[in-house]
Structure 1
Amino acid sequence: MTSRKFFRLNSIIKNPFISSLILLLLSTPPLWAEDGVTEKEILLGMSNAQTGPLSGVGILIKEGAAVFFNKVNAAEGVHGRKIKLIVSDDGYQPAKAIENTRKFIEEEKVFALFGYVGSPISASIVPIFTRAHVPYLFPFTGARFLRNPVDRYIFTLRASYADETEVMVERLTEDLKITKIGVFSQDDALGEAGRAGLMRALRKRNMPLVGDGKFERNTINVDVALEALVKANPEAVIMFCPYTPCAVFLKKAKERGFNPKFFLFAGGVTPLVQEAGKDADGVIMTQVVPNPSDSSLPIVKEYLSDMKAAGLAPDPVSLESYLGAKVFVEALKKTSPLTREAFISTLEKLKMNAGGLEVWFSPNNHQGLHQLFLTKIENGKAVTIQNLK
């Protein structure tokens, strides 16, 4: 380099404006400098029960999301980035869910949390992800505390337990003229949330609760609860419980000759039937998505095609997770730059027709779906019904 060129370059570098600009360019992070976002990937953390008494639901949620994400990734992802779903087993234990969540946020550096299962699990980790400003997306629970008051970092897809219990009580009272309703519930955040929704629906109609049976979480010790309900003798029992203790309760109720109308909140049909067998017949279930066995909606046809290609059996639970994955990807496509805060702002404005299902959010509404469907288990299969008559 000649002395004249060196002098000119040296003068440029010493220019305060130029040197500041160079430092700014060197220090500016790349456009993907957000936890969980790289040039090639977007990381999601999922902690739920892959083993234990709720594993049937956890596995279905994993399957539904993975099937959709795999399809998106095979088509080059979202703006060239593939979605990587990191799944950890918590066995439906809050302590393990806390451990997994901290690892996702602090070590794995995920962009968001997705597809957790259960009210007690959600209750245990809310302080962790809200403090870290990490989005918590579409947990498998209808608990009120995740919806009201609205939290900037929490988005739910499914209708709430309050929505479900209102439909349950409405149909029982209007279609069957039932006036005595009891509850069988898990003695934790799940049971409390469901029971609270039921009490609101009953108070609205000036009806008392007739029978209150509770059992300990992660057990099948349902005898005391059953005895309380048999003694109260309600005409209908609404159940807020995972499928394993529900199945045990149904079997023991039938053995006792206790046969009220059994109503169950939206959960996995397949795991319940596998556990309860013929004793599940007659159970009426609310569902937050259409019954994949007999719906003609485009979203169901798309889901069934993808599940068949993956060699997996359909179930409302995996359909719900598949839909959640679809909503997540749609929001990703609309977000630029891809940061958590920008993504949340996009979700709060998102309105989409997801193959015949209307999904929408706003700053004051972080629950994407409000529609409910009724099914009845007959001969081991869920059949869509319009009423209870």
Structure 2
Amino acid sequence: MTLRQLLHSLAVTCLLLSPFAATAENGVSATELRVGMVNAQSGPAADLGLGMHSGVLGYFARINAAGGVHGRKLVLINMDDGYEPERTAEQTRLLVKTHKIFALLGYVGTPTSRAALPIAQQAQMLYLFPLTGAEFLRTPAKPEVFNIRASYIEEAERLVQHATEDLGLQRIAILMQDDSFGEAVKSGLSGALHKRGLQIDAQTRIQRNSLEVDKAIETLRSTQPQAVFFVGTHRQLAAAIKKAKAVGLKTRFITVSFIGTEEFIREAGSDANGVYISQVVPSPHDRSLKLVQNYQADVDPQNISHASLEGYIGAMVFVQALRNAGKAPTRERFIDALEHTDSDLGGFKVRFSRTDHQGSEAVFLTRVENGQAITVDKMRD
């Protein structure tokens, strides 16, 4: 046998002995399937990242305890980006190139998704169920991108509808994070107001991951809006409300689901009372739903939140599509399975098609009262 033939024989032997030899698909072996997640496990958006992580792990643990999917255990590789896009990109490259995962699941944020998506697309990697309502992930539909949650356009529409119809408000200002997240929600707010012959009354900005809100609140005090549409993280909103009260700015605060409801309530205390928050999943405490009953059984009680329920739902949809993709899952089979998903998960419906990769349009209105986010039908003074 020549040296060249010997090397070829050794290479073939190594390939056959490799646990991933049964398939050419990254992240899939005979015994496990690896999924990657990069999101905020530290910093001001950590409650969202930790929530998504705990929700996905909770459902994966349920499935693994029952033998996995087609005999494969689900493995989640998680990395922390601190809600900083540069770190998101770095960690995503590491997941794709080094860990050879099957899909990216459960990212958190608009600027972070903007950093990760080009890397995923270049690698032809699935980018699944991020916690963001940004439109660039939805329109037009992208083959490798699937969203479950309603968009920021839909959240803003619901909030503006209630603010104008229930309370008769016309002067709504925006206090926004100065990045693509802020711009995404601002676009939804502007569109919802325009439909009603209105426009944003005033706008001011804060920096991502900064708690410096004094200048922004002083700017809003000069205009005295009837409501402030806030776009940022929970500590920023708590600081803004505290400052507004200190300087005599009497206004209502409303915000979208990204705020991290439970952490905001803990951070703001009694200052949180009266704040309206749109949600894109049901209450994680609504045990009338079979979904929530299972979720509460699988997730640590200390991690019960809207964010962890969203992660749990994402994991459910992922597993369902993986089962339907067959015993030898490929990217193409998995995409086909997702595009044929039409499921009631126990009180929450998810449906995709070839032309629509957003699974839900559900938006729930909540009002903070005495330390809880209560689901309500309308806004009140």
Letter of the 1:226 counterpart = I
1:316 aligns with 2:306: yes
Which of structures 1 and 2 has the bigger CA Rg? 1
Task: For residues 190-214 of structure 1, give each alpha carbon's deviation from its aligned partner in whole angstroms, at most 9, with x where no partner exists.
Answer: 1000000101111111102111021
Structure 2 distance, partners of 1:97, 1:228, is 33
1:328 aligns with 2:318: yes
Structure 1 distance, partners of 2:190, 2:110, is 18
Q: Which residue in 1 is equivalent to 2:44?
A: 53
CA 1:175/1:311 → structure 2, altered by over 3 Å: closer, same or farther?
A: closer
Q: Which of 160, 163, 170 matches 1:179?
A: 170
Structure 2 distance, partners of 1:248, 1:379, is 19
CA 1:295/1:265 → structure 2, altered by over 3 Å: closer, same or farther?
A: farther
Equivalent residues of 2:147, 2:359 under 8 A apart = yes
Structure 2 distance, partners of 1:275, 1:213, is 22
**How far did residue 257 of structure 1 move?**
2.4
Structure 2 distance, partners of 1:259, 1:343, is 51
Matched ranges for 1:49-198 at <5 A: 49-198=40-189
1:270 aligns with 2:262: yes
1:300 aligns with 2:292: yes
The total of aligned residue pairs comes to 361
Query: Identical aligned pairs, as a percentage?
Result: 43
**How far did residue 294 of structure 1 move?**
3.5
**How far did residue 295 of structure 1 move?**
5.0
Equivalent residues of 2:286, 2:292 under 8 A apart = no
**How far did residue 377 of structure 1 move?**
0.8
Task: For residues 217-262 of structure 1, give each alpha carbon's deviation from its aligned partner in whole angstroms, at most 9, with x where no partner exists.
Answer: 1111112221221112111111111112111111111222223121
Letter of the 2:262 counterpart = T
Q: Which of 255, 258, 266 matches 2:249?
A: 258
TM-score by length of 1: 0.90
Structure 1 distance, partners of 2:202, 2:223, is 5
**How far did residue 111 of structure 1 move?**
0.3
Query: In structure 1, the residue corresponding to 2:302 is in which secondary structure?
Result: coil
| Alpha-carbon RMSD | 1.5
Equivalent residues of 1:293, 1:382 under 8 A apart = no
Task: For residues 311-358 of structure 1, give each alpha carbon's deviation from its aligned partner in whole angstroms, at most 9, with x where no partner exists.
Answer: 434111111110010000000010033011211111111111111211
Q: Which residue in 1 is equivalent to 2:343?
A: 352
Structure 1 distance, partners of 2:295, 2:352, is 23
After alignment, is 349-358 or 187-196 more displaced?
Answer: 349-358
**How far did residue 39 of structure 1 move?**
0.6
Letter of the 2:143 counterpart = R
Letter of the 1:334 counterpart = N
Equivalent residues of 1:162, 1:194 under 8 A apart = yes
Structure 1 distance, partners of 2:61, 2:70, is 15
Q: Which of 264, 289, 293 matches 2:281?
A: 289
Q: Which residue in 2 is equivalent to 1:5?
A: none
After alignment, is 242-251 or 115-124 more displaced?
Answer: 242-251
Equivalent residues of 1:47, 1:97 under 8 A apart = yes
Q: Which residue in 2 is equivalent to 1:279?
A: 271
Equivalent residues of 2:284, 2:304 under 8 A apart = yes
Structure 2: give runs of 5+ residues left out of the alignment: 1-15
**How far did residue 305 of structure 1 move?**
2.1
Structure 2 distance, partners of 1:367, 1:144, is 10
